[in-house]
Structure 1
């Protein structure tokens, strides 16, 4: 795991802003915070608010981490981006295991109202990843390979999605 040097940090964030039309805001009228790709599914994280012992949260985190690792080559790097804070590049196959460093950040965003942090995982080519929105309390997973790998289990943990491909779904 490596902290992104300033020039790379700026380059990765600039590309993320451009490719995903990232618009941070606490204003619900400006959500979602990114232009969600066609191959994306977004879930509310509200169901985790009542999760005694954080069992479902832990399961959600493991499912997303394992899914991301399964979708990249063994020597590939992922970016772990924390808006306006230290961000990292890391090899997902070399973290999180027994006697290894934990994954940096989490697919679950830091939801403090005054200092909420968007947490983003991205493959090096930006084809797949996750976008955690702290104020909407949502996570968007994108990239068809990642969705094929984790969507059913994420839905089992979080319930039905709220958006597909950036389009709001009817509430059932």
Structure 2
């Protein structure tokens, strides 16, 4: 592709997905009884994407994408990379700080799971996002990412459906 966004080789693709399966207990399924499809980390928050259904102009979706991209970029060093994983499709490694500043090159994929599982991951797998297309949810994980974006995501999507893999406590 280019120096800013590179397709993962077949070997790296399998290595990254194998580690993701192991570290997150990834179990893809359309069956609601098996959701969530990952073991959501201790420092994670998951939101329903249902509110975006009533967004004909995509303004809320655009705000969501921008907030997640800005948050992930802030969590990566200036020359650091992120993985953009599309389950059973081409996946990428990219430089978020440089892609963000390029008018010709866009982020690969989206935090919004448009028909498949979409995952962004830091190189150490400690920070990222997991979009579940059938549950219609977005999980963000990593304390620094949550510190930077949680209130903004709440404003776009509403109250979370899970924290650290559990329903939030209600007063």
The 5-angstrom pairing of residues 27-42 of structure 1 reads 27-42=31-46
- How far is 1:168 from its partner? 1.5
Where does residue 130 of structure 1 map in the other structure? 129
The 5-angstrom pairing of residues 1-172 of structure 1 reads 1-110=5-114, 116-169=115-168
- How far is 1:48 from its partner? 0.3
User: Given the two structures, how large is their TM-score scaled by the length of structure 1?
Assistant: 0.94
- How far is 1:94 from its partner? 1.1
Distance 1:54 1:171 in 2: 30
C-alpha RMSD of the superposition: 1.2
- How far is 1:30 from its partner? 0.2
Number of residues of Structure 1 aligned to a counterpart in Structure 2: 167
- Secondary structure at the aligned position of 1:52 is classed as coil
- What 5-or-longer segments of structure 1 have no aligned partner? 111-115
- How far is 1:88 from its partner? 0.1
- How far is 1:171 from its partner? 7.2
- What 5-or-longer segments of structure 2 have no aligned partner? none
- Runs (4 or more) in structure 1 with deviation over 6 Å come to none
Q: Deviations over 1:17-70 (max 9, x none)?
A: 000000000000000010000000000000000012000000000000000001
- Does the Cα contact within 8 Å between 1:94 and 1:100 map onto a contact in 2? no
Distance 1:99 1:27 in 2: 40
- Secondary structure at the aligned position of 1:12 is classed as helix
Distance 2:63 2:118 in 1: 18
- Secondary structure at the aligned position of 1:146 is classed as helix
